[in-house]
């Protein structure tokens, strides 16, 4: 699959980490600042771009382990839920009209594939075995807000993506043309 764009991140800080997002030339596009509550649980992330709109990814109250949401400047809602499970490790994401999900990569290693219901694999986020920096690769057109939201949500569960994907997730994560 041919890559359209590649971004990298540089992470610093432990309690309140800052994720600096860089383009292909190494130019800073913006930063995601992570915020925790008094108990140490991540409650939000704030994307501050070099230019453009500021986004806030907030934890929503709920019974599931992690529900996050974001409203874009165009008033589009993005939401995600992390559901635990060894064989079916998916993160469901909702946008205005296109449901997407994050599924672990096919090969071993930490990382997620962003999969559209009809379009197949849209992008991929990969992490080294040890370290916090990441590589974001896009294969199809994807809004930057959605890519950043997926990066933030996937970053909350990077070790859950270390083992290769289950067969069901591989089939659902394959490009639409490959499924027949």
Supply the CATH number for residue 24's domain: 2.40.160
152, part of any domain: yes
pTM of the model: 0.83
Q: What is the pLDDT of residue 30?
A: 97
How, if at all, do strands 18-22 and 28-36 pair?
antiparallel
Query: How large is the C-alpha radius of gyration of the chain?
Result: 15
Q: How confident is the model at residue 180 (pLDDT cuts 50, 70, 90)?
A: very low
Whether 180 is covered by a domain: the verdict is: no
Asked if residue 179 is part of any domain, the answer here is no
Q: Is 150 within a domain?
A: yes
Say if residues 18 and 37 touch (Cβ distance below 8 Å). Answer: no
- Please tell me the predicted confidence (pLDDT) of residue 3: 79
User: How many domains, in total, are found in the chain?
Assistant: 1
Instruction: Give long-range contacts, CB 8 A cutoff, 24+ apart: 1-5.
Output: 1/121, 1/139, 1/175, 2/139, 3/137, 3/138, 3/139, 4/138, 4/139, 4/140, 4/141, 5/137, 5/138
Three-state SS for 160? helix
pLDDT 10s digits, 49-59: 999 889 998 88
pLDDT of residue 73: 66
In-domain check, residue 117: yes
Position 134 confidence tier, pLDDT thresholds 50, 70, 90:
very high
The pLDDT of residue 158: 72
Residue 104 pLDDT: 85
Full residue range of the structural domain in which residue 154 is found: 5-174
Domain contains 104: yes
CB 126 within 8 A of CB 151: no
Q: What pLDDT is attached to residue 40?
A: 87
In a domain, 107, yes or no: yes
Q: What is the pLDDT of residue 173?
A: 46
Q: Within a domain: residue 101?
A: yes
Cα separation, 28 vs 33, whole angstroms: 14
């Amino acid at each position: 699959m041919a890559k359209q764009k590649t971004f990298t991140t540089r992470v610093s800080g432990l309690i309140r980490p800052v994720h600096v997002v860089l383009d292909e030339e190494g130019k800073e596009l913006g930063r995601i600042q992570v915020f925790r509550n008094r108990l140490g649980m991540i409650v939000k992330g704030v994307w501050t771009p070099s230019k453009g709109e500021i986004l806030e990814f907030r934890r929503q109250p709920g019974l599931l382990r992690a529900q996050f949401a974001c409203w874009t400047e165009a008033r589009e809602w993005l939401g995600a839920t992390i559901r635990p499970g060894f064989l079916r490790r998916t993160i469901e994401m909702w946008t205005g009209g296109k449901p997407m999900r994050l599924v672990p990569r096919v090969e071993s290693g930490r990382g997620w594939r962003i999969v559209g219901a009809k379009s197949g694999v849209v992008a991929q986020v990969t992490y080294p075995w040890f370290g916090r920096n990441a590589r974001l690769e896009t294969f199809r057109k994807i809004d930057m807000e959605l890519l950043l939201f997926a990066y933030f949500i996937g970053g909350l569960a990077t070790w859950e993506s270390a083992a290769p994907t289950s067969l069901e997730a591989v089939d659902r994560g394959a490009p639409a043309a490959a499924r027949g």
